Chain A
Amino acid sequence: MSGLVFDSIVKKFGEFTAVHETSLTIPQGKFVCLLGPSGCGKTTLLRMIAGLEAATAGRILLDGDDVTRIPTHKRDFGMVFQNLALFPHLTVGENIAYPLRIRGVSKADCLAAVKRLLDLVQLPDMAGRPVSKLSGGQKQRVAIARALALEPKLFLLDEPLSALDAKLRESMQIELKQLQQKLGITTIVVTHDQREAMTMADLVVVMSQGKVHQVAPPVEIYRKPKDAFVADFIGSTNLISGRISGSGKLAVAGGTLLADDLPATGDVTVSVRPENIRVTAGRGDSTPGCLAGEVSYIRDLGASIEMYLSVAGQQITAITTPSDRPDIAAGDAVWLHFPKDACVVLGDA
């Protein structure tokens, strides 16, 4: 089996369980984001891959080999730390050559490797600089080059872009993704920024409180969230609870909604993204998939318009573009259209 496999991995710090029993497969060559709020166990999971934390139970396999008990310095994985941890007493070139030098690689080969890696991260001719003279983005690139010097099987990054300002971060995200595609290296990035995960990842692993909620490509995570936590954490959403009232029909406060994949009976919650709700002025006939409401507040942001609506006492948010803006104002009665494929049935969190 190719790739990285977590087999029933558990991590406890004393009484506190940082990672609950988790089994997960990360295919070879993919770009994976571990996404979740702070303290959700994503960094602990990454540190277990690197061997910086010992798993309390379970196994970690790489390409079928059990690596759980191999010490960090024999794993040969490249890792970029949140604070980058460049060696302050070494120059840029010496930092990058460090993993090669301690393995006895000759000076000439080290120099060639440093040059190649600096070209790769687009910092040519910087080898002689002390690291204290670098900008934040340059330090970032040096840390990446150093982690890649060994041509590792796994490339691990712990919140690598969190120290950069927003604009630089966006461009680094794209660059990192392109670098990964060029090298085809299995990459695992820890982040709490869902935009970052959406930009870079082939596969997003959403975590909270030490549990994995969903593993899926970014678009699927957004369109088909598995539970209320994922739906709420990724973007914003409307959570509407109701009761099954027939085939594909859901009775909610104020009317009936249509949805796919509904169970036969019982209470369920659906997630509807604000941009999927269409709002029209006036009142229509009560039909399934439409609810009557009232405008509480309209927030016009220029590029998008947020409408805060009250439906049978419940707050619903809808977003539209200026060209589709309905002619409504606060206090008006409106008609909300919920397309069938926009109502996603959520499982238990």
Chain B
Amino acid sequence: MKIKPRTFSDYATIGFPAGMLMVFFVIPFGIMIAVSFFQRVQGAFYEPAFVFDNYARFLTSFFGGILGFSIGLAALVAVVSVLLAFPFTYILTRMARRTQVVWLVFLLSVLSLSEVLIGFGWSTLLSRTAGISNLLVAVGILDKPMSLSPSFGAVMTGMVYQTFPYTVLVLFPALSRLDPSLVEVARTLGSGPVRSFLNVVVPALRNSIVSTLIMVFVFALGCYLLPQLLGKPSHWTLSVLITDQAIYQSNMPFAAAMAVFLVLVSLSLVAISLLYGKKENAA
């Protein structure tokens, strides 16, 4: 039975977290929204105003294209991460407890690496002089070592590397709670291991997969260092441009407008997915 909070003191327990959210999230976000309508002053900073110039400038095909690329990249990273992490996590949850702990500690330590370390690590690994192309030459696949970075593949590799441990950790609880007899019954009914994975495990965890996709997507949308370190300028995301505008061009109002737009886009994508999920659950 659910007990509804009635008096003021019932709500008091959430006072502290609500206060923290207010001070560190809602107020800064409000300031950002306000700034996005301010007027930029050339050679100085900005002054309070209420203009739509910043949003109008954003609606050019150049920034629209960047926005499209950012969303596409984040979506692709999310899909690739989940495609890799889901079978991996499934196998991991079927292993001995000790093996699971070792893997989870390892993945957590990868997660603790900063974006800078991951970026420089991969740019070294993908370089011509010290990279893995030298290994491919040694094996005989390549004729001579080549540089694999900067490229779209390098950006994808770095971002998937960064999001993979996160994806595994998000999927792990759902997969370890999955009733193992569902797979066993599929086997007694004539499904081989791969077919029972696709027919039973994936559909039974459809909701977890969708919510993980959303989380990884949002996580990847905010990424701005890896595209700079591993990609060409054409692979830069909106986050890179926001940083550029805010820090190097001193155009805070325009940076704020882009940030607000990015938040709105990702929020609406999440909302659409949640609505879709809800409809499916209700059916």
Q: CA A187 – CA B204 in complex, angstroms?
A: 30
Q: Is the interface of A mostly helix, strand, loop or mixed?
A: loop
Would you call B206 and A85 a contact (CB within 8 A)?
no
- CB neighbours (8 Å) of B191 from chain A are 73, 102
Q: Is the interface of B mostly helix, strand, loop or mixed?
A: helix
B157, chain A: closest CB distance, angstroms? 34
Would you call A85 and B185 a contact (CB within 8 A)?
yes
Q: CA A156 – CA B189 in complex, angstroms?
A: 12
Is A229 an interface residue when CB atoms closer than 8 A count as contact?
no
- CB neighbours (8 Å) of B184 from chain A are 52, 72, 81, 85
Q: CA A85 – CA B187 in complex, angstroms?
A: 12
Would you call B181 and A81 a contact (CB within 8 A)?
yes
Is A93 an interface residue when CB atoms closer than 8 A count as contact?
no
Is A339 an interface residue when CB atoms closer than 8 A count as contact?
no
Is A99 an interface residue when CB atoms closer than 8 A count as contact?
yes
Q: CA A82 – CA B192 in complex, angstroms?
A: 22
Is A89 an interface residue when CB atoms closer than 8 A count as contact?
yes
A 74-100 to B, binary, CB cutoff 8 A, 1 in contact else 0: 111111011101011100000000110
Would you call B182 and A79 a contact (CB within 8 A)?
no
Please list 12 pairs of residues, one from A and one from B, whose beta carbons are closer than 8 Å in the complex, sorted by A's number. Answer: A72-B187, A73-B187, A73-B196, A77-B188, A81-B181, A87-B200, A87-B203, A87-B204, A89-B206, A99-B189, A102-B189, A147-B189
A80, chain B: closest CB distance, angstroms? 9
- CB neighbours (8 Å) of A103 from chain B are 190
B205, chain A: closest CB distance, angstroms? 9
Q: CA A73 – CA B203 in complex, angstroms?
A: 20
Kindly list 15 other residue pairs between chains A and B, CB separation below 8 angstroms, not including A50-B188, A149-B189.
A51-B187, A52-B187, A72-B187, A73-B188, A73-B192, A79-B185, A81-B181, A81-B184, A81-B185, A83-B179, A83-B181, A87-B182, A88-B204, A98-B189, A102-B189
B 168-195 to A, binary, CB cutoff 8 A, 1 in contact else 0: 0000000000010110111111111001
B181, chain A: closest CB distance, angstroms? 4
